[in-house]
Amino acid sequence: MKKILSLIVEILSSLLLVLPLLWSIGLWYYQPISIIPSILLLAVAALWWWIRRRPSAHLVLWLLVLVNIITYHCIPGPTPAQWKKPWAIAPQFEQQGDLLTIRNIRDFRYRTEDDSDVRYRTETYDLNTLIGVDFAECHWDGMEAICHTMLSFHFADGRRFAVSAETRLPEGAEQGAIPGLYKKYGILYLFGTEEDLYGLRTNIRHEDLSIYPLKIKQTGARKLLQHYIDLARNAEATHQPYNTISGNCSTGLVSGFRVLVPTMARKYDFLPLHNGSIAGLLINYGAVQAHPGETEQQIRNRCYVGYDIPLENYSTELRNRIRD
């Protein structure tokens, strides 16, 4: 019986090792410096085997995984000589009482995705006039489970800006899900005009964008905005890396929901892994403005905005498309 149990434990241990070891191989490839601690550990293990003549392969492999995890956390976020143009400049914030000044609000004008006029704006907002927040989701290539998520903040004078957590690519790098697991990219909380952040997707990429007006009081809207300002400042100050799983476009957004609802179940922390379900969750919990008796699918159909929206009066035309 002991032999059978030992065999079962060994098989389970081997199966559990597969993903951590594959991740470790990726770490060595994308962060070559990480192989040095692994080599030192294997050298010590070889010496131990030579002296004791009692090898324990599983123990050594688990120690190897542990060393790689520690090494990963010691690798700093990327600080390249140059970021790609769309993410080269981070927003800056100055707050004096109820007045918020945002510098470097991105306002590009696109001819193609790679050809644009570089424009940034500085705006001052009275937070007492913050009257609304919209949740935006953007799907591409027919994918429903995965999307890009953003928020818009609306003020009484008609001005709006959008917030988008984006992969910050070094010059010469191409985005990929696997390298995104290994601190190859930064993360940038972009504050930009809707003509830029939404227009790029509706008019240039022709992606499927939906805008969902949220039911939220001004105190909640201000708290949510402050949360994203804090995230943006921290990401820039600490050179925060992007992570495909734990630090993507939706992790900050979901953490903002927790600011509004501290009792939110911990299971929702996994929403960024299948962020295509966030809109449905908001609708089903009554967080989206809806008409009496309106179903989730009816709300989704109404909030879909389509393509090729004129840049003149863009935000107004965008909302016109989600009215009855």
- How does residue 324 score in pLDDT terms, banded at 50, 70 and 90? low
Domain of 23 in residue numbering reads as: 2-74
Q: 50 and 111, same structural domain? A: no
Whether residue 118 sits in one domain with residue 45? no
Q: Are residues 255 and 121 in the same domain?
A: yes
What's the structural domain count of the chain?
Answer: 2
The whole-model pTM stands at 0.90
Q: Does the residue 304 lie in any domain?
A: yes
Is residue 10's pLDDT more than 80? Answer: no
Of the residues 24, 52, 74, the one at which a domain ends = 74
Q: Is the same domain home to 65 and 103?
A: no
**Do 36 and 105 sit in the same domain of this protein?**
no
Residues 9 and 115 both lie in one domain: no
pLDDT at 177 exceeding the cut of 80: yes
Listed range (45-54, 128-137, 149-158, 206-215) with the worst mean pLDDT = 45-54
Q: Would you state the pLDDT for residue 148?
A: 95
Examine the fold and report which residue of 30, 51, 74 is the final residue of a domain before the chain moves on. Answer: 74
- Tell me: pLDDT of 317 over 80: yes
Identify the band that residue 260 occupies on the pLDDT scale cut at 50, 70 and 90: confident
> What pLDDT, on the 0 to 100 scale, is given for residue 8?
61
Asked whether the beta carbons of 78 and 184 are under 8 A apart, the reply is: yes
Q: How far apart (Å, rounded) are the C-alpha atoms in residues 169 and 86?
A: 9
Is residue 39 domain-shared with residue 114, that is, in the same domain?
Answer: no
Who has greater pLDDT, 47 or 238?
238
299 with 232, same domain: the answer is yes
Tell me the average pLDDT of the chain: 91
Which tens digit of pLDDT belongs to each residue from 100-120? 999 999 999 999 999 999 999
At residue 89, the pLDDT reads 97
User: Given this model, what pLDDT does residue 51 score?
Assistant: 76
**Does residue 79 lie within any of the structural domains?**
no
Q: CA 49 → CA 55, 60, 96, distances in Å? A: 5, 10, 65
Tell me, yes or no, whether 35 and 127 share the same domain: no
Question: pLDDT band at 12, cuts 50/70/90?
Answer: low
Q: Does the pLDDT at position 161 exceed 70?
A: yes
Domain co-membership, 289 together with 313: yes
Structural domain includes residue 157: yes
pLDDT above 70 (res 323): no
Phi, psi of 85 (to 5 degrees): -50, -45
Per residue in 199-224, pLDDT tens? 999 999 999 999 999 999 999 999 99
Same domain, 67 and 93: no
93 and 25, same domain (yes or no) = no
266-308: pLDDT as tens digits: 888 888 888 888 999 899 889 999 999 999 999 999 999 988 9
When pLDDT is cut at 50, 70 and 90, the band that residue 90 belongs to is very high
The domain boundary residue, chosen from 51, 74, 97: 74
Q: For the chain, what is the HEC assignment?
A: CHHHHHHHHHHHHHHHHHHHHHHHHHHHHHCHHHHHHHHHHHHHHHHHHHHHCCCCHHHHHHHHHHHHHHHHHHCCCCCCCCECHHHCCCCEEEEECCEEEEEEEECCEEEECCEEECCEEEEEEEHHHEEEEEEEEEECCCCCCCCEEEEEEEECCCCEEEEEEEEECECCCCCCCCHHHCCCCEEEEEEECHHHHCHHHHHHCCCEEEEEEECCCHHHHHHHHHHHHHHHHHHHHHCCECECCCECCCHHHHHHHHHHCCCCCHHHHHHHHHHHHHHHHHHHCCCECCCCCCCHHHHHHHHECCCCCCCCCHHHHHHHCCCC
Residue 80 lies in a domain: no
**What is the model's pLDDT at position 184?**
96
Q: Name the token pair of 52.
A: 């004791």
Q: What is the mean pLDDT of the segment spanning 128-153?
A: 93
Residue 230: name the closest of 91, 121, 129 by CA: 91
User: Does residue 168 surpass a pLDDT of 90?
Assistant: yes
Q: Which of 43-47, 113-117, 254-258 has the lowest mean pLDDT?
A: 43-47
* pLDDT-wise least confident of 53-57, 88-92, 159-163, 246-250: 53-57
